Structure formats: C-alpha cells, structure tokens
Amino acid sequence: MEKRKMDRLGEEISLLGFGCMRFPVAEDGKIDRKQAEKMLDRAYAAGVNYFDTAYPYHNGESEVFVGEAMKKYDRNSFYLATKLPSWMVNSVEDAEKCFATQLERLQTDYIDFYLLHAMNRDSWNKMVKLGVVEYCERLQREGKIRHFGFSFHDSYEAFEQILNYRNWDFCQIQLNYMDVNEQAGMRGYKLAEEKNVPLVIMEPVKGGSLAAFAEDITARLRSLDPQASTASFALRWVGSLPNVKVVLSGMSNMEQVEDNLKTFGDFRPLSEQESRVIDEIVETINGRVQNGCTGCRYCMPCPAGVDIPRNFRIWNTYHMYQNYNMVKGGWEGGIADEAKAKNCIKCGKCEKICPQKLSIRADLERVQEDLDKKEMIF
C-alpha cells in the first residue's frame, strides 16, 4: 500500500483512505454490516489505515458502525477521522455534546483527524464567532483530538480566508481532473502546498462520474492500459499531486475495494502520455456542453416558475458525460416538476436580459426532449 508522510505531523498514512459514507445498505435502508465489515477488514489487511466518517453519514449510523467494526484492531494501528456538524452547532455547548456523542459512537477516547465539516464562508464565520475554533484547539491541547482541520465547499476566496486564519494541521477539499476550477480547485491546492498544509482529497472520481464514460472516452483510457479501470485514472491523477496525502474513496462494494487496492497497492503516478490523454478527455467533455449558461440567474425569476439555470446545468451535465444515470437523481427528484423546462410559456422575458444572449426558449425545448428520452444510459 502506497504511504505518504505528513512530515510536520509525524504521520505516515495510506494514500488510499476509506470513505465511510457509501457503505452497502440492506433492504431496510441501514448499513449491510456483514458486507461492510468485510470491506473494512479487507482494506485494513491490505494496509489502509485512514478511515473517514462524519456525524451525519448513513443517518448517524456510520460512526456507530465504524466504532464497532474497528474495535477489534489495535487503536494505534489506524487513524480515525470524523467531523463536527457545524449546521447543528449554535454554541460551544452544542459542539461539546456532538463531540461527546462521537467519542461514544466511535468507542474511542480520542480522534486522530478532526474536521469542521463542510466549511463555507458563512459557516466558518459562525464557528469563529461562537468560539468553536478555540474549543477545538482546547480539545487538541487535551489530547482528545490529535490533528485539527476542516473540509471545504465554497469559492477559492472563502478557502483562502479560512486557510490563512490559523496554522492548520491539514484540510480536506474536493478535487479531480474535471473540477480544477471549482471550489478551492488547483489554486487552493497550490496555496495549501505553499503553506505546507497536507491535503486530504474527496470526490476524486466526482461522485462516480469519472468511472463511467461513453465508449469513445472509455476506449481512450483502455488504450493506455487495458487492465486498468476507468476510475483508476482519476484516482491516479489526484494521487500524482505531491501534497495530496490521502485520497478518499467512498466504496460501496467489495469490487470497488479490490480495484482501489490494485490502484494504490502498486501506485504509479500518471505518465506524460497519460496526463496528455486526460487533458484531451477533459477538453472533449467540456466540448459537449450544450449552451454557455453560467448560472448567473439574471433570467430569474421566470414568470412560469421554470428554474432555467438548474435545467441547463442538468442538461449540460447529461451531455458532457453522456450518461443519464449521472443526472437521474437531479432530474427525477432534485428539481420540482413545476420547475422543469416543459413549463416554459415562451414569453421571451429571459432572453431579453440574458448576458450570454442564449436562445433560452429553444434550448428549454431541447432540455425536456433530451431528458425525457433518457437515451444515454449505461
């Protein structure tokens, strides 16, 4: 198993981290504990030593399960990471209660890597104002948490504000070869590297979208290595960055565990040729965008109630990845029926004020037609 050193922290950690938010589930909707425990055992036996969970994962069951499943192992042989749910915290007392619950759930008296969960500008300012940052620093002095960090979902500017606030032990960001300009992105990666803050990466396969492509892109990757999975190239792209110390993968079955162990057990950074092909794939995918909607929302509110930017975002994603399963949740449940493109009354108000001068009415017709057909499914 590939290991990476967090020199400043004195830790050596498996490059593959087990993300504990997508365990297999049983018919009752709860974690299939027998299967999930086999997955954890297999990963641990292969050298994975970083296990990442959080208060809300699996409706609160993840921490409980991980605590039970890992108690058979020497506590000093692996690292536990979990997160403080900032949206539940309105006082230091709330934070204290959450932390006490997490220690109980995980059956431990300390957390190795403790994060403020899903920081954005507003939640960060709230944590500072309430004194939660100072509370976590006190926990660290008391030995109840060993390393203090944060996970992040917002703009680069918000990331810069948070990262520069204090001398963080580590932080966790979303990064993959399609999202280099999203959220913290590569600018955030470089800033963390400059400040010597080790990075843990989430969404390296972009929620699975970089694991299932149409045949043309799959064939390009297969030409590089017929034995490698599509997902492995996304994982290797992230792992090739030197300040990435842990790449989290939310594994849902044993097949995914085995494939990831194959990738990280004999880890190879991307070659120049592989990097070039990935760049070409990114260009191809971005070239499939159907219109140039930037999500500025100048077109909103729509007199007919259509959520124009959201319709276009779903539609563009569908064509980029050529896979209906990528947008099924968003189209069938994430957007209200009354907000779908079919409700457009063609008044033209939106087109008069669109900065991109898009043919919104015609494009909305195509949105509904394409997504109703659901032709690209694999």
Q: What digits encode the pLDDT tens for the residues 165-223? A: 999 999 999 999 988 888 889 999 999 999 999 999 998 988 777 887 778 888 989 99
Q: What is the pLDDT of residues 9-32, one digit of tens each?
A: 999 999 999 999 999 989 888 999
Q: Which of 237, 367, 377 is nearest to 309 (CA)?
A: 367
SS3 content of the chain, % helix, strand, coil (to 5): 50, 15, 35
pLDDT of residue 247 exceeding 50, the answer is yes
Averaged pLDDT for residues 358-364: 94
In this model, does residue 301 exceed pLDDT 70?
Answer: yes
Q: Give residue 376's pLDDT.
A: 62
Q: How much is the average pLDDT of 155-165?
A: 94
The residue that leads in pLDDT, 355 or 327, is 327
- The predicted structure's pLDDT at residue 35: 95
Is the pLDDT at 377 greater than 60, yes or no? no
Share of the chain above pLDDT 70, in %: 99
Q: Is the pLDDT of residue 129 over 80?
A: yes
Is residue 65 a contact partner of residue 31, using CB atoms and an 8 Å limit?
yes
Nearest to 195 by CA among 206, 205, 184: 184
Better pLDDT: 48 or 358: 48
Quick check: 356 pLDDT over 50? yes
Mean pLDDT of 36-40: 97
* Residue 73 confidence (pLDDT) above 60: yes
Give the orientation angle of helix 308-321 with respect to helix 272-286, to 10 degrees.
140
Q: Residue 378: its pLDDT value, please?
A: 44
* Positions of E strands within the chain: 3-6, 11-14, 16-19, 50-52, 79-84, 111-119, 145-152, 170-174, 199-202, 244-249
Confidence band for 325, pLDDT divided at 50, 70 and 90: confident
Q: What is the pLDDT of residue 211?
A: 84
What is the residue-averaged pLDDT of the chain? 93
Separation between Cα atoms, residue 254 and residue 257, nearest integer Å = 5
Confidence of residue 238 (pLDDT cuts 50, 70, 90): very high
What percent of the chain clears pLDDT 90, i.e. is strictly above it? Answer: 77
Count CB neighbours of 342 within 10 A. 16
Q: Measured between alpha carbons, how far is residue 367 from residues 97, 294, 327, 356, 374 in Å?
A: 47, 16, 12, 18, 11
